[in-house]
């Protein structure tokens, strides 16, 4: 049965490219946002493209992970973004896909 109020968190797998080594799958724990919360989040976080801004924005929607060699923290998230080009886009795309059931364009 569909619940009127979704769970506050949900898990989804993100495939991360490993230079010279194929790819690895990491399970992320995401924080659910209602439509008004999501709209406000997008309006507030879409302006800056810096690493610090990406870490802050993703820290708001990601609360954990498994399949990485480090515990989740904002520092570890920053290191992931620094070391794997474009991973922030993949994480965010998976979040949107899970919220809406629709994939973002390439």
Label residue 40 by pLDDT band (50, 70, 90): very high
Label residue 106 by pLDDT band (50, 70, 90): very low
What is the distance between the alpha carbons of residues 27 and 12, in angstroms, rounded to a whole number? Answer: 6
CB 16 within 8 A of CB 89: no
Q: How far is CA 47 from CA 14, 21, 54, 57, in A?
A: 24, 33, 10, 11
3-state secondary structure of 19: coil
Q: Is pLDDT at 103 greater than 80 in this prediction? A: no
Q: How many helices (H) and strands (E) does the chain have?
A: 4, 3
**DSSP structural state of residue 104:** P
3-state secondary structure of 32: coil
pLDDT digits (tens, 9 = 90+) for 44-75: 998 877 888 999 999 999 999 999 999 999 99
Label residue 18 by pLDDT band (50, 70, 90): very high
What is the distance between the alpha carbons of residues 79 and 82, in angstroms, rounded to a whole number? Answer: 5
Task: Please report, for the chain, the start and end positions of each structural domain, with discontinuous segments joined by +.
Answer: 9-100
Burial of 86 (0-12, 13-18, 19+ CB in 10 A): exposed
pTM for the whole structure: 0.90
Read off the tokens for 58.
Answer: 């993703």
């Amino acid at each position: 049965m569909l619940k009127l109020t979704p769970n506050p968190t949900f898990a989804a797998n993100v495939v991360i490219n490993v230079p010279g080594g194929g790819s690895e799958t990491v399970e992320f724990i995401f924080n659910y946002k209602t439509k008004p919360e999501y709209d406000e989040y997008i309006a507030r976080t879409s302006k800056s493209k810096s690493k610090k801004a990406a870490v802050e924005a993703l820290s708001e929607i990601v609360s954990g992970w498994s399949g990485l060699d480090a515990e989740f923290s904002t520092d570890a998230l920053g290191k992931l973004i620094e070391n794997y080009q474009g991973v922030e886009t993949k994480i965010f795309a998976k979040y949107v896909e899970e919220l809406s059931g629709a994939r973002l364009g390439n």
